[in-house]
Structure 1
């Protein structure tokens, strides 16, 4: 799914990354940070390599219009998404049935959280795709 996300944003003009089309809640830039931050928080929290302010910038309910301070560029986020994929793929298979310390939305095991993260990422790829088409058609 991560490969699909990175492929979806290939060729998008840099000036389109921060456009928030009418009817959409965020920007493509925000979606990239959100996917990165969500995967980190759900699966890699104890070994997080992301700056502390990412949850404020990209967490649930956040929006670009509220951004202040140091906001990572799209290029930085793309690099972090690629690096994170390596760390996600290192989660050993034997951890899939391991119970998590904090269940969420009925999910209790690492495997269930991995499934959620993949589904979550697919949803945001769809949003990015729709935004990309809309932005390109109006510019």
Structure 2
């Protein structure tokens, strides 16, 4: 089962990277009408949540730039940003390397109980490391879809 989770993690991420490929910085930083975030926020949010769900919640070291916690946190929006945001290329580089780091660090540990069980906003309680990683696939899929929609709205 573990191999399937890691395989799906890599597949989902490849799809996310494919949809981000070729997005120009001005498009990535444009907020479509009636939305509150942009493609850059979506990509950074995917990275942040994956770091939290794979590493931070369980007490493991993460590769997380300090500014990401405020820029890409749930409920945040570019309209309230006060610092300098990373470029889409910077976020994409982090996204590209993340699945391999997760596999390397969590191989053989997906069945372990998390020291901090978590109940999602939709009411699902995550109790093992594997449950967190597996749920992050659903989470990424939601934001992948938002990126696709934003691209369709913003690209001539």
Q: TM-score, normalised by structure 2?
A: 0.83
Q: After superposition, what is the alpha-carbon deviation per residue over 1:1-32, rounded to whole angstroms, capped at 9, x for unaligned?
A: 11100001112222100110012220000011
Give the equivalent residue in structure 2 for 1:116.
135
**Consecutive aligned runs of 4 or more in structure 1 exceeding 3 Å deviation:** none
**How far 1:53 sits from its partner (Å)?**
2.0
**How far 1:88 sits from its partner (Å)?**
1.2
- CA 1:92–1:69: 2 relative to 1, 3 Å: closer
Question: In terms of mean alpha carbon deviation, does 80-89 or 31-40 score higher?
Answer: 80-89
Does 2:26 match 1:6? no
Q: Which runs of 5+ in 2 are unaligned?
A: 1-11, 120-124
Does 2:89 match 1:70? no
Q: Which runs of 5+ in 1 are unaligned?
A: none
3-state DSSP of counterpart to 1:107: strand
Q: TM-score, normalised by structure 1?
A: 0.92
Give the equivalent residue in structure 2 for 1:39.
50
**How far 1:83 sits from its partner (Å)?**
1.8
